[in-house]
């Protein structure tokens, strides 16, 4: 008889420990924006108003404060219901806020047990409040437009994977720097424009969505994406380019000694199909096909070299090169490595294999 009593007591204890909240009695925040404007911090929350059936209407709640710490309490003072952060999907930082640093918010999120590690973060070219306002006015019932935009572009297009967990890993690492999706206002719509780059928790620059594809490849995580390459000077403008649809890519790093200095070799191997190409290229000639393939490889090497120089000039390491070198080096010292990093010789080597195309057949 003791076993049934123990089971019954355990069930009662579990039921007593369960914390439940009725959805109609809380204000569920799904997106949050942070801005700095006229010497004050501005917080904006997007929350759904539940209508009959599954329909919801996105709404905004906004407030301002001399400090960033009490924005949530101030939002609560404007809400008729208790604010619930457990369903938070995205936090958007205005560029001016991000330039001042997002460390306080990130540390707070890391300590908040209500927030999941898969929470998405992003940076707005202008005001985060303005972009969130645009999404609530143009997407009708979709309160998750921006999170869905990020996830779709990460899974099937040019955006590298990013979330709170990855941001924290790169932020606290001595051998890498974090990045976030970068959004801009385009008329009455919001568009994903590339990556916002960070150093010591502060926004320091950005790269285009085209270059985001290169970052994705160099991080060895891409199976999708598109990339446009110039392959000649024939015909009218725009008729000398091919559009690659990436199917699979791998990158391999090698750390070599060269005299008293080091050289980093990066070997990139891309298996891709050609989505669009100029009419003059559609000829059954192997020499032309080989020439075009070589031009693709050369241009992509130049693009990678340019991107890496930009990172070195900004003294940032979004690719985690420092982490790679640390894994290859005994007694690795971050200060010494990044002193050399600014002038480090980096040599990309690109091989492109064209598959599933009619070119040169």
E-strand stretches of 209-300: 226-230, 241-258, 261-276
Q: What's the pTM value of the predicted model, to 2 decimals?
A: 0.85
pLDDT the model gives residue 137: 78
Q: Which of 5-9, 10-14, 247-251 has the highest mean pLDDT?
A: 247-251
299: closest CA among 209, 251, 202, 233?
A: 233
pLDDT, one tens digit per residue, over 158-204 is 899 999 999 999 999 999 999 999 999 988 888 999 999 999 999 99
Give the residue-averaged pLDDT of 98-108: 92
3-class SS of residue 184: strand
Domain coordinates of the chain in residue numbers?
Answer: 24-208, 223-361
Q: What angle do CA 211, 217, 218 make, to 5 degrees?
A: 90
pLDDT the model gives residue 337: 93
Share of the chain above pLDDT 90, in %: 44
Which DSSP string do the residues of 55-68 spell out, in sequence order?
-EEEEEEEEEESSS
3-class SS of residue 260: coil
Place of tokens 């199917």: 247
Neighbours of 166 (CB within 10 A): 17
Asked whether the predicted pLDDT for residue 16 surpasses 50, the reply is no
224: closest CA among 158, 162, 268, 273?
A: 158
pLDDT, one tens digit per residue, over 262-313 is 899 999 998 888 776 666 665 555 666 677 788 889 999 999 999 999 999 9
**Which stretch of 13-17, 67-71, 141-145 has the lowest confidence by average pLDDT?**
13-17
Task: Give the pLDDT band (50/70/90) at residue 74.
Answer: confident
Q: Give the whole-angstrom CA distance, residue 359 versus residue 278.
A: 10
pLDDT the model gives residue 90: 93
| Paired strand residues for 46 | 31, 60
Asked whether the predicted pLDDT for residue 100 surpasses 70, the reply is yes
The torsion angles phi and psi of 62, rounded to 5 degrees, stand at -135, 155
**Which stretch of 32-41, 205-214, 251-260, 267-276 has the lowest confidence by average pLDDT?**
267-276
Higher local confidence (pLDDT), 249 or 55? 249
pLDDT the model gives residue 350: 95
122: closest CA among 114, 113, 131?
A: 131
Count helices and strands (H / E) in the chain.
11, 14
pLDDT the model gives residue 266: 96
Instruction: Say if residues 41 and 126 touch (Cβ distance below 8 Å).
Output: no
Give the domain 223-361 fold. GMP Synthetase; Chain A, domain 3 (3.30.300)
Share of the chain above pLDDT 70, in %: 80
Helices (H), the chain: 2-17, 71-76, 95-100, 103-111, 128-138, 145-156, 164-172, 209-218, 286-314, 321-328, 334-341
Q: Give the whole-angstrom CA distance, residue 38 versus residue 266.
A: 46
Q: How far is CA 109 from the centre of its chain?
A: 17
Q: Give the whole-angstrom CA distance, residue 193 versus residue 184.
A: 6
pLDDT the model gives residue 285: 54
């Amino acid at each position: 008889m003791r076993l049934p009593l123990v089971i019954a007591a355990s069930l009662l204890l579990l039921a007593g420990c369960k914390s439940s909240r009725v959805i109609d009695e809380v204000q569920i925040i799904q997106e949050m924006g942070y801005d700095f404007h006229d010497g004050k911090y501005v917080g904006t929350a997007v929350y759904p108003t539940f209508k009959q059936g599954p329909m919801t209407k996105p709404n905004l709640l906004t407030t301002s404060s001399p400090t960033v710490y009490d924005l949530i309490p101030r939002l609560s003072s404007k809400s008729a219901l208790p604010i619930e952060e457990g369903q938070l999907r995205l936090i958007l930082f205005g560029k001016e806020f991000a330039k001042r640093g997002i460390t306080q918010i990130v540390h707070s999120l890391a300590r908040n047990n209500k927030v999941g590690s898969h929470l998405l973060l992003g940076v707005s070219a202008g005001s985060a409040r303005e972009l969130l306002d645009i999404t609530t006015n143009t997407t009708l019932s979709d309160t998750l437009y921006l999170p869905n935009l990020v996830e779709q572009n990460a899974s099937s297009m040019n955006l590298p994977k990013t979330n709170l967990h990855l941001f924290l890993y790169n932020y606290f690492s001595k051998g890498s720097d974090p990045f976030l999706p970068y959004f801009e206002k385009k008329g009455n719509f919001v568009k994903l424009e590339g990556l916002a780059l960070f150093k010591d928790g502060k926004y320091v620059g950005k790269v285009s969505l085209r270059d985001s594809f290169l970052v994705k490849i160099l991080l060895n995580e891409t199976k999708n994406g598109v990339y446009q390459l110039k392959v000649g000077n024939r015909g009218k403008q725009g008729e000398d380019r091919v559009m690659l649809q990436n199917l699979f890519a791998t990158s391999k790093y090698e750390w070599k000694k060269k005299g008293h200095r080091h050289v980093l070799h990066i070997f990139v191997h891309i298996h891709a199909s050609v989505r669009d190409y100029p009419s003059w290229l559609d000829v059954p000639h192997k020499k032309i096909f080989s020439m075009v393939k070589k031009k693709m490889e050369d241009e992509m090497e130049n693009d990678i070299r340019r991107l890496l120089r930009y990172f070195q000039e900004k003294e940032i390491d979004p690719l985690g090169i420092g982490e790679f070198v640390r894994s290859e080096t005994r007694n690795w010292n971050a200060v010494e490595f990044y002193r050399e990093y600014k002038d480090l010789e980096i040599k990309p080597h690109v091989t492109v294999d064209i598959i599933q195309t009619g070119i040169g057949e």
